[in-house]
Amino acid sequence: MSASALVSRLEALCGTNYVLTHPHALSTYASDGLAQYHQTPLAVARPGTAEEVHAVVLACFEAGVPWVARGAGTGLSGGALPVAEGVLIALSRLRRILAVDLDDGCIVVEPGVTNLAISRAVSPTHFYPPDPSSQIVCSIGGNVAENSGGAHCFKYGFTTNYVIGLEVVLSDGTVIELDRDAPGYDLLGAFVGSEGTLGVATRIRLRVVPVPESVRTLVAFFEDTSAAGDAVTAIVSAGIVPGAIEMMDRLSIKAAEQATHAGYRLDAGAALIVELDGPHDECTARFEHVMTLCSEAGARDVRVAQSEEERALIWKTRKAAFAAMGRIAPAYYVQDGVIPRTRLSEVLGKIDELATEYGLQVANVFHAGDGNLHPLVCYDDARDGEPERAEELAGLIVKACVDFGGSITGEHGVGIDKKRYMPDMFAEPDLEAFQRLRCAFDPHGLANPGKVMPTPRLCGEVPGPYREHPLERAGVAERF
């Protein structure tokens, strides 16, 4: 099937208004949240129902054309970066809440529903705990594909702990149902975090939990991140499991405070947000204990939210940290790595050393309880060679995380950006096992090719024009 015949077929399936081919329209979809990479697809299809998604995937299969699923495009590792000559399947029209069953503690949604809309749909009695900072816009389909986390995952767990059922369209058009409680291989577990490489999720069943009786939130200001890190260790060692425990360093406080005017102390080297939730009496007693531990670790100032508005402002500042970096530098690169919590000071020392060597500023925001770092490497994209230096520095930070016993990603995924680091974490047989799993779901290599794995997979007959070298034909993305 020729490219124009495929486009006509997509138009017949979705409606002409929902298939984009004009270069201006396509440019909106050329990147995701990792703007350093861009690629123009053959077409963007915007199906309106699960059945239309199925039909689009089948049409791509019959044409032998690769495709990439896209939710809200907020991913930070280039997972939703299109493939040249491929189809981008944008799921933003699939926004229906299909069923809410609070007695059973579950909700069924389409993949384009935003993360925040899920909590809203089950409020005021329940909520959906995984809360990425992008939750106002990011889609639950993207969350499932990335196994997204957020501030409240230290206590509550990640997306994978909440997905209990999926309807998935495989790249040959087969529709499968995956159920958390079904016997046999845990294919649902394999799908969550697979970054769109195993199929498209078209229906998602999630667990939701009751809203806790009481929530208490504070922000404590420290001389430096090392003292704030000591407070984290003391709190966790005392057996306290905060609903959330988040840290921001001096530079990220400076950027975020300019955006929200929440009253964060600009003279502090670190801000630690601690939120406890649970039964009222337990929460109150533990909260007193947390305040004492913060003071003992050297907190200069501990501010307790006295109202829901104050609590919201504390969180708004934390959640604004990424976007607010634009106030510090014209461009920045969001890194995502994991380290053992106890090695925070050493790793931050290493990051400082590297930042000085590269002559660049690095701000740090952490999910401190999980040891999940988000170094934000600031640069000026108008200066010759600076974007490349920033990328190199970000890469060395990831390698440092692995050297200190951590991981190349905590929650933003591997995508196109970090596949080169996979061999730093996995041995050849491990990578091969991943490839075999991927080939079992997508033997024709049409689902999000070129992502996650460092080497091409050649696992079977590819129909149509991609028969020879699917990845080479699919095109390497342009960077910067």
Ligand X SMILES: Cc1cc2nc3c(=O)[nH]c(=O)nc-3n(C[C@H](O)[C@H](O)[C@H](O)COP(=O)(O)OP(=O)(O)OC[C@H]3O[C@@H](n4cnc5c(N)ncnc54)[C@H](O)[C@@H]3O)c2cc1C
CA-based torsion, 368, 257, 31, 447: positive or negative: positive
Which residue has 């149902």 as its token pair? 177
Nearer to ligand X, 171 or 230 (CB): 171
Nearer to ligand X, 171 or 448 (CB): 448
CA separation for the pair 337, 416 (Å, rounded): 16
* Smallest distance from ligand X to CB 259, Å: 12
Nearer to ligand X, 323 or 440 (CB): 323
Q: DSSP for 56-94?
A: HHHHHHHHT--EEEESSS--SSSTT---BTSEEEE-TT-
* Smallest distance from ligand X to CB 429, Å: 25
> What is the number of other CB atoms lying within 10 angstroms of the CB of residue 146?
30
Q: Is residue 193 close enough to count as binding ligand X by CB under 6 A?
A: no
Q: Which of 79, 269, 387, 475 binds ligand X (CB under 6 A)?
A: 79
| Strand ranges in 256-340 using DSSP code E only, listed in sequence order | 270-278, 301-304, 331-334, 337-338
CA 48 to each of CA 196, 223, 317, 360: distance values in angstroms, whole numbers, following the listed order: 19, 52, 35, 45
Nearer to ligand X, 170 or 231 (CB): 170
**How many chain residues are in contact with ligand X, going by CB under 6 A?**
37
Binding mask 438-457 for ligand X (x = CB under 6 A): ----------x---------
Nearer to ligand X, 200 or 398 (CB): 200
Q: Is residue 323 close enough to count as binding ligand X by CB under 6 A?
A: yes
Considering only the stretches 6-14, 132-140, 301-309, 455-463, report the one whose residues sit in contact with ligand X under the rule CB under 6 A.
Answer: 132-140
Q: Is residue 82 close enough to count as binding ligand X by CB under 6 A?
A: no
Considering only the stretches 145-153, 220-228, 267-275, 378-386, report the one whose residues sit in contact with ligand X under the rule CB under 6 A.
Answer: 145-153
Q: Is residue 277 close enough to count as binding ligand X by CB under 6 A?
A: no
In angstroms, how far is CA 202 from the centroid of its own chain?
Answer: 19
Q: Is residue 32 close enough to count as binding ligand X by CB under 6 A?
A: yes
Nearer to ligand X, 192 or 351 (CB): 192
* Smallest distance from ligand X to CB 223, Å: 26
Considering only the stretches 133-141, 228-236, 426-434, 437-445, report the one whose residues sit in contact with ligand X under the rule CB under 6 A.
Answer: 133-141
CA separation for the pair 4, 181 (Å, rounded): 44
Quote the tokens at residue 326: 């634009």
**265 contacts: CB under 8 Å, gap ≥ 6:** 221, 253, 271, 300, 301
Q: Is residue 74 close enough to count as binding ligand X by CB under 6 A?
A: yes
Q: Is residue 80 close enough to count as binding ligand X by CB under 6 A?
A: yes
> What is the number of other CB atoms lying within 10 angstroms of the CB of residue 410?
23
* Smallest distance from ligand X to CB 124, Å: 24
Q: Is residue 165 close enough to count as binding ligand X by CB under 6 A?
A: no
* Smallest distance from ligand X to CB 7, Å: 21
Q: Is residue 52 close enough to count as binding ligand X by CB under 6 A?
A: no
What residue type is assigned to position 34 of the chain?
L
Check: CB of residue 440 under 8 Å from CB of residue 462. no
Q: Which of 67, 156, 264, 322 binds ligand X (CB under 6 A)?
A: 322
CA separation for the pair 214, 211 (Å, rounded): 9
Considering only the stretches 62-70, 230-238, 259-267, 417-425, report the one whose residues sit in contact with ligand X under the rule CB under 6 A.
Answer: 62-70
| Strand ranges in 356-418 using DSSP code E only, listed in sequence order | 362-367, 372-379
Nearer to ligand X, 115 or 297 (CB): 115
- The angle formed by the CA atoms of residues 229, 233 and 238, to the nearest 5 degrees, is 150
**30 contacts: CB under 8 Å, gap ≥ 6:** 38, 39, 40, 41, 82
Q: Which of 411, 414, 441, 462 binds ligand X (CB under 6 A)?
A: 411
* Smallest distance from ligand X to CB 275, Å: 15
Q: Which of 58, 59, 61, 65 is nearest to 82 (CA)?
A: 65
Q: Which residues bind ligand X (CB under 6 A)?
A: 32-33, 68-76, 79-80, 91, 111, 132-134, 138-139, 141-143, 145-146, 148-150, 195-196, 200-201, 322-323, 411-412, 448
